[in-house]
């Protein structure tokens, strides 16, 4: 018996979400490949430099917003159903949020891809941050709004299951998988307030022509109200995998239940009030608010460092169970021949590296050296592009058999895949960081300038350019391997009652040691709102006081 046999309805929902996620991954990944070759001038024959920004928008939206959201929805359906031991409460409701998100995705994708059709007026080359006054077609904003509303409904679905479960189990602690899901969604509710205000309150009426002028700083600020917490909306499900599943994959048990809960609470509290750290270089926001955001950001290092400890400790425990010895020799005893383990472990290592470049980004005045340079995508390809994406791919190797009742096919290819991703990403990201230090900008089709040359600290621009192109190519190969393994296993994997070992053992320091206050969702949610109000009320009021749409700028089609 595995998941699909016990919960066939939930399995179907989770699979539907994964299908959309993987289609988005395939298209977005292909765009990424084109960009890697175009930017570096290795090959510019796919699309011209005007269309580059349409591809870049597609890459960002499809991967950062669509792939992640749908994969997370599938993952959480699996976790909530399993840990509460109940199918979704009302399938009509469950399918309605799935279809709402899917329709929204199609609308946004059509708006973006319209930019590749000559003379089309349906365009959305505004990148995934869509800063006005650059204007996209209303379809783009409405589509994104539907995706977010759908995700809210999904969260409500899981809270619904939780309440029903609570009614039947009044004295039990929230199971850890559900705890992590619910706290991630609480954070999502807090941060999407900003996005909803921006998109529904400002951008949709403006793109429909109901208002002409817009004040660029206000929507930008509201975007970043959402824009950093969204990073944790991607990351927390990866943490969820590292806490709940990775210890098992390495042959051991989770180190500490209470620390896991504390980490998720800190993320709920601090994810949103840090948004100004994306606006260190913005005029119109005083230094004091930026400093407050910086202090909160650096404090967010704490839960990630705790995670590092807990995850490494859990893996060491697993390795010692498998006969590992010594201070470091146990590392060799980890299952380096299992794709699911390898992917999660390599993703974790890369997240540590991404964390350190993130510290540079967070440090306000040091940030100015690399703000909006290619260093920044170099950084977030380590975090969201590897820590999150590679974890999701790796755990698919373990989840998919549970959802389909079929064994994984092509295990050798699946094993090569995470190693290839790690290699490709190191090459690409390393060169992007170095080029960023020389001032090479991000988000540009042709980073070559007529009037001056960039001066790298060491190495040459040519060498970095090739490193990016080769790294991007290896990543693409790795992505193709992943998709091939998934499609082949899904369609033709050997049917089995027990296609994978899906048992998750209890933590070493279990829930009985966990203080009850950690499960008090009302308390932590209220506290999170208070912190957000402290960070944002005054600066937002300053921006709005002179009129919501003033000082106003006119729209520019993208």
Partner 1 sequence: MHIHKFEQFWIKLSFVLIAFFVATVVYGFVAMDLKVIGDHATIDPQNLADTKFGNPGVREVTRNGQTEYEVYVQTIQFAFNPGTAQPIEVPVDTRVTFYITSPDVLHGFDVAGTNLNTMAIPGQVAKFTTIFPEVREYGIVCNEYCGPAHHVMEGKIKVVPKSEFDKSNLVE
Partner 2 sequence: MYEEKSDNSTKKLVKILVIVGIGIPVLVELMTLFNLINVQIFEDEKDVNSNDTNVTEVRGFGEGDTLFANQESAVLIDQLRVKVSAQEWRFALGITSMDSTSQEKLQIRVDSLRLQSKKILLGIDSSSWEVRQTVPAQIYGEWALPNGDIPTKLFVSIEQQEADSTTRVSQEIPLHKIPVRYNQE
Q: Which of 145, 199, 344, 346 binds partner 2 (CB under 8 A)?
A: 346
Indicate the length of the chain as a whole number: 558
Q: Is residue 253 a contact partner of residue 507, using CB atoms and an 8 Å limit?
A: yes
Q: In whole angstroms, give the CA distance from residue 487 to residue 481.
A: 10
List Cβ neighbours of 326 (8 Å cut-off, separation of 6 or more).
none
Indicate whether 1 belongs to the interface with partner 2 (CB under 8 A): no
Spell out the long-range contacts of 442-448 with Cβ–Cβ below 8 A and sequence spacing 24 or more.
442/372, 442/373, 442/374, 442/375, 442/376, 442/377, 443/53, 443/56, 443/127, 443/372, 444/39, 445/38, 445/39, 445/49, 445/50, 445/52, 445/53, 446/39, 446/41, 446/49, 447/39, 447/374, 448/41
* Rg, C-alpha atoms of the chain: 23
When CB distances are held under 5 to 8 angstroms depending on the partner's kind, the choice from partner 1, partner 2, none that residue 498 binds is partner 2
When CB distances are held under 5 to 8 angstroms depending on the partner's kind, the choice from partner 1, partner 2, none that residue 298 binds is partner 1
Indicate whether 290 belongs to the interface with partner 1 (CB under 8 A): yes
| Active site residue ranges | 228, 232, 379-381, 442-443
Q: Is residue 197 a contact partner of residue 128, using CB atoms and an 8 Å limit?
A: no
Residues 37-56 binding partner 2 (CB under 8 A) are 44, 48-52
The alpha helices in 197-271, defined as continuous H runs, are 204-207, 217-227, 229-244, 246-249, 257-270
Indicate whether 480 belongs to the interface with partner 2 (CB under 8 A): no
Q: Which of 169, 286, 365, 412 binds partner 2 (CB under 8 A)?
A: 412
Indicate whether 501 belongs to the interface with partner 2 (CB under 8 A): yes
Q: Which of 63, 107, 125, 294 binds partner 2 (CB under 8 A)?
A: 125
Q: In whole angstroms, give the CA distance from residue 31 to residue 43.
A: 13
Cβ nearer to partner 1, comparing 210 with 457: 457
Residues 7-36 binding partner 1 (CB under 8 A) are none
Indicate whether 301 belongs to the interface with partner 1 (CB under 8 A): yes
List Cβ neighbours of 356 (8 Å cut-off, separation of 6 or more).
none
Q: In whole angstroms, give the CA distance from residue 400 to residue 487.
A: 10
Kindly state the DSSP code that residue 288 receives in the 8-state scheme. Answer: H
Indicate whether 127 belongs to the interface with partner 1 (CB under 8 A): yes
Interface size with partner 2, residues (CB under 8 A):
42
Q: How far is CA 553 from CA 174, 205, 379, 549, 556, in A?
A: 50, 15, 32, 8, 9
When CB distances are held under 5 to 8 angstroms depending on the partner's kind, the choice from partner 1, partner 2, none that residue 174 binds is none
CB of 430 to partner 2, least distance (A): 5
CB of 207 to partner 1, least distance (A): 15
Indicate whether 523 belongs to the interface with partner 1 (CB under 8 A): no
Task: Give the position of tokens 């992943």.
Answer: 482
When CB distances are held under 5 to 8 angstroms depending on the partner's kind, the choice from partner 1, partner 2, none that residue 305 binds is partner 1
Indicate whether 327 belongs to the interface with partner 2 (CB under 8 A): no
Indicate whether 49 belongs to the interface with partner 1 (CB under 8 A): yes
Binding string, 330-359, against partner 1, x = CB under 8 A? -----------------------------x
When CB distances are held under 5 to 8 angstroms depending on the partner's kind, the choice from partner 2, partner 1, none that residue 441 binds is partner 1
CB of 334 to partner 2, least distance (A): 11
Part in contact with partner 1 (CB under 8 A); list of ranges 151-159, 229-237, 294-302, 459-467: 294-302
Q: In whole angstroms, give the CA distance from residue 134 to residue 457.
A: 35
Residues 418-437 binding partner 2 (CB under 8 A) are 418-420, 422-423, 426-427, 430, 434
Helix H, strand E, coil C: the string for 422-483 is: HHHHHHHHHHHHHHHHCCCECCCCCCCCCCCCCCCCCCCHHHHHHHHHHHHHHHHHHHHHHH
Per DSSP, the residues of 474-532 read HHHHHHHHHHHHHHHHHHHPPB-SSSS----PPPSB-GGGS-GGGG-HHHHHHHHHHHH
Cβ nearer to partner 1, comparing 487 with 537: 537
Per DSSP, the residues of 137-171 read -HHHHHHHHHHHHHHHHHHHHHHHHHHHHHHH-TT
Indicate whether 119 belongs to the interface with partner 2 (CB under 8 A): yes
Q: Which of 170, 328, 451, 503 binds partner 1 (CB under 8 A)?
A: 451
Q: Is residue 240 a contact partner of residue 180, using CB atoms and an 8 Å limit?
A: yes
Cβ nearer to partner 2, comparing 92 with 453: 453
When CB distances are held under 5 to 8 angstroms depending on the partner's kind, the choice from partner 1, partner 2, none that residue 220 binds is partner 1
Indicate whether 249 belongs to the interface with partner 2 (CB under 8 A): no
Cβ nearer to partner 2, comparing 80 with 345: 345
Phi-psi category of residue 324: left, alpha or beta, with phi > 0 → left and psi -120 to 50 → alpha: beta
Indicate whether 333 belongs to the interface with partner 2 (CB under 8 A): no
Interface size with partner 1, residues (CB under 8 A):
79
Residues 227-286 binding partner 1 (CB under 8 A) are 255-256, 258-259, 279-286
Cβ nearer to partner 1, comparing 205 with 439: 439
CB of 370 to partner 1, least distance (A): 8
Indicate whether 148 belongs to the interface with partner 2 (CB under 8 A): no
Question: In whole angstroms, what separates CA 451 from the centre of its chain?
Answer: 38
Q: In whole angstroms, give the CA distance from residue 404 to residue 398.
A: 11
Listed residue (280, 271, 454) closest to 366, CA to CA = 280
Part in contact with partner 1 (CB under 8 A); list of ranges 238-246, 297-305, 331-339, 340-348: 297-305
Q: Which of 309, 349, 530, 537 binds partner 1 (CB under 8 A)?
A: 309
Residues engaged in binding partner 2 (CB under 8 A)? 44, 48-52, 118-121, 123, 125, 336-337, 346, 353, 412, 415-416, 418-420, 422-423, 426-427, 430, 434, 445, 450-451, 453, 455, 457-459, 498, 500-501, 556-558
């Amino acid at each position: 018996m595995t998941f699909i046999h016990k919960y066939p309805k939930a399995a179907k929902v989770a699979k539907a979400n994964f299908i959309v996620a993987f289609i988005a991954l395939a298209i977005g990944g292909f765009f990424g490949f084109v960009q890697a070759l175009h930017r570096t001038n290795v090959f510019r024959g796919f699309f011209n430099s005007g269309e580059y920004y349409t591809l870049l928008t597609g890459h960002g939206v499809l991967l950062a917003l669509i792939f992640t959201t749908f994969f997370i929805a599938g993952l959480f359906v699996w976790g909530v159903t399993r840990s509460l031991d109940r199918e979704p409460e009302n399938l009509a409701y469950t399918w309605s949020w799935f279809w709402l998100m899917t329709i929204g995705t199609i609308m946004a994708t059509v708006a973006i891809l319209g930019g590749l059709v000559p003379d089309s007026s349906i365009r959305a080359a505004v990148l995934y941050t869509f800063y006005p006054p650059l204007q996209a077609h209303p379809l783009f904003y409405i589509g994104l709004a539907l995706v977010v509303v759908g995700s809210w409904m999904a969260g409500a679905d899981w809270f619904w299951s939780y309440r029903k479960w609570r009614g039947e189990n009044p004295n039990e602690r929230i199971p850890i998988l559900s705890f992590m899901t619910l706290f991630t969604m609480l954070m999502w509710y807090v941060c999407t307030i900003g996005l909803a205000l921006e998109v529904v309150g400002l951008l949709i009426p403006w793109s429909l022509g109901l208002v002409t002028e817009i004040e660029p700083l206000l929507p930008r600020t509201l975007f970043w109200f959402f824009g950093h917490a969204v990073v944790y909306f991607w990351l927390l499900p990866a943490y969820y995998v590292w806490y709940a599943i990775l210890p098992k994959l390495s042959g051991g048990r989770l180190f500490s239940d209470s620390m896991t809960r504390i980490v998720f609470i800190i993320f709920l509290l601090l994810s949103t009030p840090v948004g100004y750290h994306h606006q260190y270089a913005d005029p119109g926001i005083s230094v004091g608010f930026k400093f407050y955001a910086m202090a909160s950001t650096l404090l967010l290092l704490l839960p990630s460092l705790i995670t590092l400890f807990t995850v490494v400790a859990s893996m060491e425990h697993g390795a010692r169970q498998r006969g590992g010895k010594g201070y470091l020799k146990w590392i060799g005893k980890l299952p380096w021949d299992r794709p699911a383990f390898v992917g999660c472990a390599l993703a974790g290592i890369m997240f540590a590296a991404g964390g350190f470049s993130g510290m540079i980004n967070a440090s306000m005045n040091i940030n100015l050296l690399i703000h909006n340079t290619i260093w920044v995508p170099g950084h977030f390809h380590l975090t969201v592009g590897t820590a999150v994406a590679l974890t999701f791919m790796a755990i698919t190797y373990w989840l998919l058999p549970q959802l389909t009742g079929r064994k994984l096919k092509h295990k050798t290819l699946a094993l090569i895949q995470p190693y290839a991703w790690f290699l490709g990403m190191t090459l690409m990201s390393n060169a992007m960081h170095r080029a960023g230090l020389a001032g090479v900008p991000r988000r540009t089709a042709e980073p070559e300038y007529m009037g001056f040359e960039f001066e790298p600290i060491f190495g040459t621009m040519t060498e970095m350019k090739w490193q990016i192109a080769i790294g991007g190519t290896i990543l693409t190969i790795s992505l193709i391997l992943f998709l091939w393994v998934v499609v082949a296993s899904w369609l033709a994997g050997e049917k089995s009652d027990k296609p994978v070992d899906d048992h998750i053992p209890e933590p070493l320091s279990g829930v009985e040691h966990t203080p009850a206050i950690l499960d008090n969702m009302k308390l932590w949610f209220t506290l999170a709102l208070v912190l957000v109000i402290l960070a944002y009320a005054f600066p937002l009021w300053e921006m709005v006081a002179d009129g919501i749409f003033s000082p106003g700028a006119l729209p520019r089609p993208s």
